[in-house]
A and B are shown apart, each in its own frame.
Chain A
Amino acid sequence: MPKNKVIPIAEAMSHVKSGMSIAVGGFIGQGDPLTLIDHLKTMDVRDLTIYENDAGYRERGVVELVRQGKIKKVVASHIGTTPEIGKAMNEGRLEVEPTPQGTLAEMMRCGGAGLGGFLTPTGIGTIAEEGKQIIELNGRKYILVPSLKCDIAIIRAHAGDTWGNLIYRGTSRNFNVPAAMCADYVIAEVENLYTMGELDPNAIHTSGIFVDAVVRANVEYCTLREEKFNA
């Protein structure tokens, strides 16, 4: 039988140390691992580098960790939904590295897939190509993007079994799938926990092979309404 990976949240999160890189699943609140982020808020860690599509939504998500001064750098495609991030950047409290959304997703996927990098046409002729190697292939220019390996990934799923097989719901799948692939230690919060064998093997989106620890998600966040993001 595959191993039971359900452990207390504090034990799972004790793997996070100052200076580490963390891939974070979710998309402006859709599928954001808010339970794990809430726990991170209570921990004494700093100088973290975050790889995420965004920094959360309004006042919820990684933006809260930025406010606490725990984050050194955010690599993201979009920070327009969290005004605090732009403010922190302008005040010199945070480094932001804008990265095209498809490039960020593929950096994570490639890192998990054992590939050194990939060639993308996205960003040719823009500042996205600055400092990057340009390779011409079959008459088209591409940017060589190195793949991403992170120390930790934190993700959220709608359902999971005790081995970490995961099923997402709706548009909450997003970056949770590639983030799960790219880190040395992957922590998944699940809204509904099942024993092994209960989930349909045909329906699994993330295989438990990618997951190291499973914790219960705060179910309050399953029905989080728009206005709660302002809290």
Chain B
Amino acid sequence: MPDAKQTIASRAGRELEDGQIINLGIGLPTLIANYVPEGVDVVIQTENGGIGVGPAPEPGCEDRDRANAGNQPITLVPGGSYFDSATSFAMIRGGHIDATFLGTLQVDEKGNIANWIVPGKMLAGMGGAMDLITGAKIVYIVSEHCSKDGASKLMKQCTFPLTGAEEADVIITERALFRRHPDTGWVLEEVATGFSLDDIAGCTDMAYAVAADVKLDAFGA
């Protein structure tokens, strides 16, 4: 089995369009930077105060004052710059970010997203996610299809407190890709190698339509 996270990041990378300004969440979404297709130039914003994020620095060249929102050392590409948090969120809320890629605990039929708290168990905080979900033009949920206990993360209705209401536009898991249409809801467009339409139906709780031209073996190894 190929690594689920790499499969998701690699498929998400193919969504990128030349010239886009994007923000990548902590963890899995950060991997997408490794899968930007050749010939596509994107500019990466990091909400702690940088734009034009480049490759990780060479070992020994890390700098405490140059890091992303997950505290990983970064470099900037030529043309990149730094700014304060109020300015950073002016960019984010102000609609200047083309796409944001976020992990999740739950996402549902209406496009609701829940990824910052498990009541009584875990409180990470929403960080910049609520602002990113509200402000970015396209909201990508990049996440494993099921939680560790095997339950579908793609639910009829989120049970945890929401990070954003009706904001998810695309879901990419290691098994499938869904796109949400304002009128008709979620549409299954792609199924990953190793999975059938029945497999997806069996592990997806939210309602969705299957695209007429649904692609099987669409991604993954």
Q: Which residues of A pack against B, CB within 8 Å?
A: 27-31, 53-54, 57, 76-81, 86, 89, 96, 98, 100-103, 105-106, 108-109, 120-128, 158, 168-178, 205, 222-226
Residues of A within 8 A of B71 (CB): 28-30, 57, 81, 226
Complex CA distance for A108 and B86, rounded to whole angstroms: 9
Shortest beta-carbon distance, A100 to chain B, in Å? 4
The listed residue (A79, A124, A224, A226) touching B124 by CB distance below 8 A is A79
Complex CA distance for A177 and B48, rounded to whole angstroms: 12
Are B93's CB and A169's CB within 8 A?
A: no
Interface check B122, CB cutoff 8 A = yes
Are A80's CB and B128's CB within 8 A?
A: no
Interface size on B, residues (CB 8 A): 45
Complex CA distance for A100 and B123, rounded to whole angstroms: 13
Are B125's CB and A77's CB within 8 A?
A: yes
Query: Most chain-A CB neighbours within 10 Å: which of B67, B117, B122, B125?
Result: B125
Complex CA distance for A186 and B178, rounded to whole angstroms: 50
Q: Which residues of B pack against A, CB within 8 Å?
A: 46-50, 63-69, 71, 74, 82-89, 92-93, 112, 116-117, 122-131, 134-135, 161-166
Given A27-B69, A89-B123, A170-B65, 20 extra CB contacts under 8 A? A27-B49, A27-B85, A30-B64, A30-B71, A76-B125, A78-B127, A79-B123, A79-B124, A79-B125, A80-B125, A101-B126, A105-B88, A121-B135, A126-B163, A126-B165, A127-B161, A168-B82, A169-B65, A173-B82, A175-B84
The listed residue (A53, A79, A121, A122) touching B85 by CB distance below 8 A is A53
10 tightest Cβ-Cβ pairs between the two chains A and B: A125-B165, A102-B89, A170-B65, A177-B84, A80-B124, A102-B131, A78-B125, A105-B85, A78-B127, A101-B128
The listed residue (A81, A96, A123, A168) touching B130 by CB distance below 8 A is A123
Are B65's CB and A105's CB within 8 A?
A: no
Shortest beta-carbon distance, B22 to chain A, in Å? 17
Are B116's CB and A98's CB within 8 A?
A: yes
Complex CA distance for A78 and B71, rounded to whole angstroms: 13
| CB-CB under 8 A for A100 and B162, given A30-B48, A30-B67 | no
Residues of A within 8 A of B129 (CB): 100
| CB-CB under 8 A for A103 and B131, given A30-B64, A120-B93, A171-B50 | yes
| CB-CB under 8 A for A170 and B89, given A78-B125, A101-B126 | no
Are B117's CB and A102's CB within 8 A?
A: no
Quick one: closest A residue to B89, CB to CB?
A102
Quick one: closest A residue to B71, CB to CB?
A28
Quick one: closest B residue to A177, CB to CB?
B84
Shortest beta-carbon distance, B181 to chain A, in Å? 20
User: Can you list 5 contacts pairing A with B, beta carbon distance less than 8 Å?
Assistant: A30-B65, A105-B84, A168-B84, A171-B50, A173-B82
Quick one: closest A residue to B113, CB to CB?
A126
Residues of A within 8 A of B69 (CB): 27
Shortest beta-carbon distance, A98 to chain B, in Å? 5
Complex CA distance for A216 and B46, rounded to whole angstroms: 29
Complex CA distance for A176 and B83, rounded to whole angstroms: 11
